[in-house]
Structure 1
């Protein structure tokens, strides 16, 4: 299903967001090469912007050095400061900078080109991907520029929008994308996710609408219910098999998965003891997929390390006596999963449990667990054994615990999404880092990049005044408990 195009590094030229306030717009017109086309092609932009976004989403700063540690999938065996929550505002620069200056800028341009070329499928695909990027940003930081960020040529120091308003606007954008996408319409090129299968893009759009509906469900249950009713009224479908997972499948070097790229040269990371202990206690058949056996033989075979150890304590555990992430996740071609079939089923189960739909929550939950196991080619007999375990059975009296714990296992590797869902569902109940620096707390947001204070100071100050202190422990709007 994935079109394995050679990834291009060409991205739309333009000033970096928030850093060009003093530049004259006329210079853009003057500094043009008369020998080159000044109109970017949507297919090249689509490939490049998708790749740049996936690299950031699955890369070092936003996963390996932060969200994968916060949700205790991974832990650090050396240079342990990030695992102890010792992080500066520069640590969170990449998601913001790439999200705005490469991803959103380029998806905005594709939307314009789709209109200019009378190809609404380009517009619809770009709206879906832009909505995903904005979701990543608001999930991580809270209040963010949205309205003015979609017209950055007019607003070089954009105002921040409240998180509630951002989510509501993204639901509108995704509804518009759904209407624009037409499987019988003009073909698109450069699509490295679904290879011009527009019917699957429509399912992807609905699946993102479902995800956002649940983000707001604790605050705005009526709106969440209306979103799901709209999707049903439109006759819309969701991602409905593992073959339809929204993901970017990586290629060989230099276009390999960022995790593979990192482990080629560094050895900082091991799987968290929290993850290994949970999988071991459940005799979870995903254990050998998620976790590598220790290089030196150990009684357990799989050994995780506690999060947030002091450097000496971590290294004393032994590099060859502790487990790296599984070979599946360190392979060059490992996919960057954006939204899985299992996640969609968990979301549908939760929507039913909340009374937002009339579907059967228990059945959907079991389907979700099964889909996650089958995503990693677990044998049918092992699936049946696992789903029959009392500890895995759905508990209607505490759906957040059942769904939260199994969804956390299913989202392994998807640091940013797991971080958002752990904050929203409050399961699993994680213990703070051993030598953590937040007075017994775990981070619940990213800090705004330091460049915002220096280059967009007035908007930054207004956002902080509205949302709360710009620190790791300030809860965001959607995180109510």
Structure 2
């Protein structure tokens, strides 16, 4: 991890640009960094949340889109060798590690300043977001620096903690945060425009409790297949069932006020949509295309109305007007027009000001469905079915919703979300992948758990793809295809993790776990195969 004064300099810049301005002002990259003001936790929070969104949308999900088989490369670009072969090096995606730890220092400072300045609500939000970011790291790397990781110059060579121990501490930290938010003194200042996820105001404390509880549910379910943790998970689920606030009832999204200007567009759209001038596609838009596997999941089930919301068909004969995907790992690929593409103004590339989802409402519902189905939360099969269907419905609502700038335009398809969800259920009344009450037979048999995992995979497409990848490793379902160029010796031909980055090898080598291999060194919760 990087251990220098870069973070502290960045925080000084943050204070300069935010201390006296609105939330969207921090996107201005032309502010003078040489005149820092005294940092306040609320000034740092918006920048930190935006940094999390950028890391998640344009780095974690970029990686997840390849390993979860949502994307393959187009014929307009060479390279993508690691994505095609899984032959990772310590340089591959090391930005995930470095940028996440930089971001974690932001939240560490927010928590420290908040405690010093009597802002327990901001400290609780920072604690929640530290867990969110640390979990991303654990899920890709396993053991990581944790207990000694954010001590700055006091410890530049932090030890590595066991991933399982870190996960258990996540539960402790999230419980502390929700308790704090539920028992705030009456004179505590409410969150204001520094809260670029829930918008601040009187209801924000409850929203952050729900975010923390949903994250806690994800964490506990991810541990639930580990035999030695069964009793622990059951006990903690019982506590979670009575936690204040409940679970997310809306998508948790970062929206600082993205604008159509250089460096200030929504990060995923900026990378894969249209350049800030609005006159040309972003370069990388031409590099990636949907796989045939993900196209099939929409086309072969109904078809699923989301297909036309997410993609445009091929334009070149003999495939014109056909939704055709690339084969993951294929190297000799015809021109762009032979394949489907991510739709501009659709459900994935909405517009320059599209918010960045951190946790979708669909995920919240699918997590609750699984927990109730397994008896971890009360409600049983009937409640699980309701949550399952609500999860599918929430996915339709998300993909059909426009970005703010597209409301009341032809791109605003929000009114069609629920009717198309209803159509999807009708078209798939006999389909065991969709209908909760249809088990299927023989090779087509699908358990209720598998239905949840399958529909979650569809809901996560491109927007929470790193979670789709973690869920595949946890559950083994759906059986996503590997790259045809895979160098893996595993039965599924997929990797199981990333390698520790070169930046860490160069600075903290003696503490790094040895013998790590991307095909054999599983994360502790990966026990299904």
Matched, 1:90 2:67: no
Q: Which residue is 2:41 aligned to?
A: 42
Q: Which residue is 2:391 aligned to?
A: 368
Q: Which residue is 2:322 aligned to?
A: 301
Q: Which residue is 1:408 aligned to?
A: 457
Q: Which residue is 2:504 aligned to?
A: 452
Q: Is the 8 A contact 1:369 1:387 kept in 2?
A: no
Describe the superposition over 1:55-75 as per-residue Cα deviations: whole angstroms up to 9, x where unpaired. 11111x4332x2111101111
Q: Which residue is 1:326 aligned to?
A: 343
Distance 1:261 1:235 in 2: 38
Q: 1:58-457 to 2 correspondence within 5 Å?
A: 58-59=57-58, 61-64=59-62, 66-77=63-74, 78=77, 79-81=79-81, 82-101=83-102, 103-182=103-182, 185-189=188-192, 190-196=194-200, 197-219=204-226, 220-240=229-249, 244-249=250-255, 250-253=258-261, 254-263=263-272, 264-266=282-284, 267-282=286-301, 283-296=303-316, 298-310=319-331, 313-314=332-333, 316=334, 318-327=335-344, 328=346, 329-330=348-349, 331-359=351-379, 360-377=383-400, 378-388=416-426, 389=428, 390-391=430-431, 392-394=434-436, 398-413=447-462, 414-439=464-489, 441-457=493-509
Task: State the Cα distance separating 1:170 from its structure 2 match.
Answer: 0.9
Q: Is the 8 A contact 2:499 2:517 kept in 1?
A: yes
- How many residues were matched structurally? 441
Distance 2:243 2:80 in 1: 49
Query: In structure 2, do the counterparts of structure 1 residues 71 and 296 end up closer, same or farther at CA, with 3 Å as the change threshold?
Result: same
Describe the superposition over 1:90-118 as per-residue Cα deviations: whole angstroms up to 9, x where unpaired. 122111101112x1111011001111111
Q: Is the 8 A contact 1:225 1:357 kept in 2?
A: no
Q: Which residue is 2:278 aligned to?
A: none
Query: In structure 2, do the counterparts of structure 1 residues 153 and 186 end up closer, same or farther at CA, with 3 Å as the change threshold?
Result: farther
CA RMSD of aligned residues (A): 2.2
Q: What TM-score does the superposition give when structure 2 sets the normalisation length? A: 0.79
Q: Is the 8 A contact 1:400 1:427 kept in 2?
A: no
Task: State the Cα distance separating 1:262 from its structure 2 match.
Answer: 2.2
Query: In structure 2, do the counterparts of structure 1 residues 167 and 278 end up closer, same or farther at CA, with 3 Å as the change threshold?
Result: same
Distance 2:180 2:24 in 1: 25
Distance 1:229 1:290 in 2: 39
Q: Is the 8 A contact 2:107 2:129 kept in 1?
A: yes
Distance 1:407 1:121 in 2: 32
Q: Is the 8 A contact 2:325 2:340 kept in 1?
A: yes
Describe the superposition over 1:405-440 as per-residue Cα deviations: whole angstroms up to 9, x where unpaired. 110001111121111111111111022111222246
Task: State the Cα distance separating 1:277 from its structure 2 match.
Answer: 1.0
Task: State the Cα distance separating 1:162 from its structure 2 match.
Answer: 1.0
Query: In structure 2, do the counterparts of structure 1 residues 224 and 152 end up closer, same or farther at CA, with 3 Å as the change threshold?
Result: farther
Distance 1:295 1:131 in 2: 45
Distance 1:473 1:252 in 2: 44
Q: Where in structure 2 are there 5+ consecutive unaligned residues?
A: 1-21, 273-281, 401-415, 440-445
Task: State the Cα distance separating 1:245 from its structure 2 match.
Answer: 1.2
